[in-house]
Amino acid sequence: MKYLRVVVLISASAALFGQQVQSPSTFNRVMKNGEEIVTIHNVAYELTGTGIPGRPADQHLVLRTTTQSEEVIGDIPQEGKITLEAWPLGTPFTQKPLYSVTMSGHSAETREGAVWFVSRGEVDVEYWSVLKLGTAQHLFDTYVPPLFFTVSRETLKMRYVGLDVPGDDVKDARLKDPHLLGVLEYASEDKVIREALVTADDLKQSVILRGYEDAGRSVTQTDLMLTITFTQNYPAAANPVVVKVPIVNDDLDLAHAQLPKGLHISVFRR
């Protein structure tokens, strides 16, 4: 895959391979009802390389990321909004983009010329959405920083991993099970290859380890072994709970997962 990453921050009118752009980025500070309010509107352009999954092999895309935020000085920052758009290189921006998606978020970055990592959530609960770069189709959400690594040095197959911890407002009844700790996500740039439910027999333990305020969690990867670690937050003792899941034949080997007594991992299909 040929990949050239160029980020262009536009502050004035500029030419980009025949596509003319002018940034509407703004910074605004006002006083209202005794409160100091700052509103920021930022626009960034990025030129991708070729070989984007789902697009013609020799096609470059011009990506536009628009972020909007409003903050009352002294208060907890509000949730921001982000819009992702894409055009084939050379297409006028007046034409309809290949896609335009808007969601809550603070920032977005491309990875390996294949996916978007979108940083979302609020100050105390951060999460990420992983989307396909060529279409902006959603792959998965994760409440730990998304991992990316290769499972084959010969072919450079990239894989993406996260841990989804659904909130109370989730629609799927299976994900409301109080014994659920999280959903391990394993994906390529094209699809989610495997999802796995991590559950605990002890209801008190599961409520604590699933809680956003009561516990922290991480996922790491070493030698094709994924390690999920749940820890309780201060002032409780950390009491780490560790789950290890091997990757075999480009899939999660759940049968050989290593789990503490009372924890289980099983295949999940949406």
Reported as a single tens digit per residue, the pLDDT across 190-242 is 999 999 999 999 999 999 999 998 999 999 999 999 999 999 999 999 999 99
Enumerate residues 6+ apart whose C-beta is below 8 A from 270. Answer: 172, 195
Where exactly are the structural domains of the chain?
A: 1-136, 147-270
Partner residues linked to 137 by β-bridges: none
Residue with the bigger pLDDT between 233 and 125: it is 233
Write the single-letter amino acid at 72.
V
121 in helix, strand or coil? strand
| Cβ–Cβ under 8 Å, residues 10 and 26 | no
pLDDT confidence tier of residue 249, bands split at 50, 70 and 90: very high
Give the rounded percent of residues in the chain with a pLDDT score beyond 70: 91
Q: What is the pTM (predicted TM-score) of this model? A: 0.88
| Cβ–Cβ under 8 Å, residues 110 and 46 | yes
Across residues 248-263, what is the average pLDDT? 97
The torsion angle over the Cα atoms of residues 206, 240, 260 and 208, rounded to 10 degrees, is -10
pLDDT of 68 > 90? The answer is: yes
How many Cβ atoms sit within 10 Å of the Cβ of residue 269?
7
Helices (H) and strands (E) in the chain, counts: 1, 20
Written as six digits, the tokens of 265 are 């991992």
Partner residues linked to 43 by β-bridges: 66
Partner residues linked to 164 by β-bridges: 183
pLDDT of 17 > 70? The answer is: no
Written as six digits, the tokens of 104 are 């809550």
Q: What mean pLDDT is reported for the chain?
A: 90
The torsion angle over the Cα atoms of residues 120, 156, 217 and 121, rounded to 10 degrees, is 0
pLDDT confidence tier of residue 53, bands split at 50, 70 and 90: very high
pLDDT confidence tier of residue 9, bands split at 50, 70 and 90: very low
State the pLDDT at residue 125.
85
Residue with the bigger pLDDT between 125 and 231: it is 231
pLDDT of 131 > 90? The answer is: yes
State the pLDDT at residue 123.
67
Give the rounded percent of residues in the chain with a pLDDT score beyond 90: 75
Spatial CA neighbour of 18 closest among 89, 86, 96: 89
The distance in angstroms from the start CA to the end CA of the chain is 31
Q: For every residue of 62-109, which 3-state class applies, written as one string?
A: EEEEEEEEEEECCCCCCCCEEEEEEEECCCCCCCCCCEEEEEECCEEE
Structure confidence by residue, pLDDT tens digits, 132-189: 999 999 999 999 999 999 987 777 889 999 999 998 889 999 999 999 999 999 999 9
How many Cβ atoms sit within 10 Å of the Cβ of residue 78?
13
DSSP 258: B
pLDDT confidence tier of residue 85, bands split at 50, 70 and 90: very high
Give the C-alpha separation, 83 to 104, whole Å: 9
pLDDT of 56 > 60? The answer is: yes
Residue with the bigger pLDDT between 16 and 11: it is 16
Burial of 118: CB neighbours in 10 Å, binned 0-12, 13-18, 19+: buried
Give the C-alpha separation, 161 to 173, whole Å: 23
